């Protein structure tokens, strides 16, 4: 391994943060998935993995939790670029068609094509993750829209039970959305069908459908902490440490961490696909991630999705991703 000085300038060597670690020596693998076919509003997240890699070279590595940079980490080649180039333009036209009173049944063949490509993408991600898991590697999926982590969740589901800690402005519990079975709005619906997913705990929800609200009320395996609930705790001057403690008590000792950046205040992610007013502040999400780090909770995998393809959004996500390294180490 080449020497690495965490106080020196970031070197553009193709790896995240300019780390010198080789693929075969890496403990944590970042797997970019360049897919945004089902994005229903803003686009650009399919290319954000490269913006995040570039932004990561600007990071300073001091952290009170220790030398997280010593964990061997490697960023893989992106998956899904060709599939996305085939699916995304047609999917965007289909969304426009529906928004202008078109009917899914009249274009069923086209929707079937997108759903078939989505399934190919999911299988591709699952196979890549399965191979890494066999080698005892930890994986972080770097989206892409929030449909892309399903392959990793399915791969992890094969041999262990875990809960999902889900940060998002949206519940993502729709069986499908805009004619797409594997929509970014459906990731938690598909996850909750898996036999080894014990529970889903969602934090930051503030834009959900009536049907999703009903699912949350009726499913005892889903815990939801809405943005309004979080705001009420702030307004009542409840210590945020107590809020975090309440949330963490609801999750099992082994979890998958799913992070859609639109859970954050939009000032931190203005170019994400579906920004929503409100959201977690920078210091609040840092406090939650720190609490996870110091807990006895085992994080089996993670994803970071929906980052806008913009230098500012990428700077924010590069810093969140660095905290994930500590959580998975």
Residue 277: CA count within 13 A, CB half-sphere: 0
Q: What pLDDT, on the 0 to 100 scale, is given for residue 103?
A: 87
| 81 falls within a domain | yes
CA distance 174 to 188: 8
Structure-token pair, residue 251: 């999750």
Structure-token pair, residue 211: 């049907």
DSSP run (H or E) holding 178:
none
Comparing 103 with 200, the larger pLDDT belongs to: 200
Round the average pLDDT of the chain to a whole number and report it.
94
Do 315 and 321 form a contact (C-beta atoms < 8 A)?
no
DSSP 8-state assignment for residue 271? T
What range does the domain containing 61 cover? 16-328
What is the number of domains present in the chain?
A: 1
Residue 212 pLDDT grade (very low, low, confident, very high; cuts 50, 70, 90): very high
CA distance 128 to 311: 28
Q: What pLDDT, on the 0 to 100 scale, is given for residue 1?
A: 55
| 39 falls within a domain | yes
Domain CATH number, residue 59:
3.40.800.10
Burial-class residue 250 by CB neighbours within 10 Å (0-12, 13-18, 19+).
Answer: middle
The total number of residues shown for the chain amounts to: 329
| 245 falls within a domain | yes
At 114 the three-state DSSP class reads helix
18 Rama class: left (phi>0) / alpha (psi -120 to 50) / beta:
left
| 315 falls within a domain | yes
Q: Is the pLDDT of residue 173 over 90?
A: yes
The per-residue pLDDT for range 262-308, each reduced to its tens digit, is 999 999 999 999 999 999 999 999 999 999 999 999 999 999 999 99
The per-residue pLDDT for range 122-154, each reduced to its tens digit, is 999 999 999 999 999 999 999 999 999 999 999
| 10 falls within a domain | no
DSSP 8-state assignment for residue 177? B
Burial-class residue 131 by CB neighbours within 10 Å (0-12, 13-18, 19+).
Answer: exposed
Residue 2 pLDDT grade (very low, low, confident, very high; cuts 50, 70, 90): low
| 161 falls within a domain | yes
| 4 falls within a domain | no
Quote the pTM value.
0.95
Q: What pLDDT, on the 0 to 100 scale, is given for residue 4?
A: 87
The per-residue pLDDT for range 13-34, each reduced to its tens digit, is 999 999 999 999 999 999 999 9
| 2 falls within a domain | no
């Amino acid at each position: 391994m080449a020497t690495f000085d965490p106080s020196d300038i970031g070197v553009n060597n193709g790896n995240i943060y300019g780390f010198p670690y080789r693929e075969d020596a890496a403990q944590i693998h970042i797997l970019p998935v360049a897919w945004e076919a089902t994005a229903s509003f803003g686009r650009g997240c399919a290319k954000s993995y490269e913006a995040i890699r570039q932004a990561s070279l600007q990071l300073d590595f001091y952290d009170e939790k220790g030398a997280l940079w010593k964990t061997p980490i490697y960023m893989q080649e992106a998956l899904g670029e060709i599939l996305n180039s085939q699916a995304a333009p047609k999917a965007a036209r289909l969304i426009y068609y529906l928004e202008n009173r078109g009917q899914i049944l009249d274009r069923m063949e086209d929707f079937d094509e997108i759903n078939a490509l989505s399934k190919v993408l999911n299988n591709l991600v699952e196979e890549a993750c399965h191979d890494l898991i066999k080698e005892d590697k930890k994986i972080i999926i770097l989206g892409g829209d929030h449909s892309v982590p399903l392959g990793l969740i399915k791969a992890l589901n094969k041999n262990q039970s875990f809960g999902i800690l889900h940060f998002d402005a949206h519940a993502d519990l729709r069986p499908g959305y805009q004619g797409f079975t594997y929509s970014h709005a459906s990731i938690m619906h598909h996850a909750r069908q898996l036999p080894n997913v014990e529970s889903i705990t969602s934090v930051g929800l503030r834009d959900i459908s009536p049907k999703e609200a009903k699912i949350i009320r009726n499913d005892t395996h889903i815990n939801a902490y809405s943005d309004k609930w979080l705001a009420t705790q702030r307004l009542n001057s409840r210590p945020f440490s107590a809020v975090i403690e309440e949330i963490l008590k609801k999750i099992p000792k082994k979890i998958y961490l799913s992070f859609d950046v639109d859970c954050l205040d939009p000032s931190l992610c203005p170019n994400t696909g579906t920004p929503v007013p409100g959201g977690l502040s920078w210091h609040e999400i840092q406090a939650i991630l720190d609490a996870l780090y110091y807990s006895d909770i085992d994080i089996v995998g993670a994803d970071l999705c929906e980052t806008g393809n913009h230098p500012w959004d990428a700077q924010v996500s590069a810093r969140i991703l660095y905290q994930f390294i500590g959580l998975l180490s």
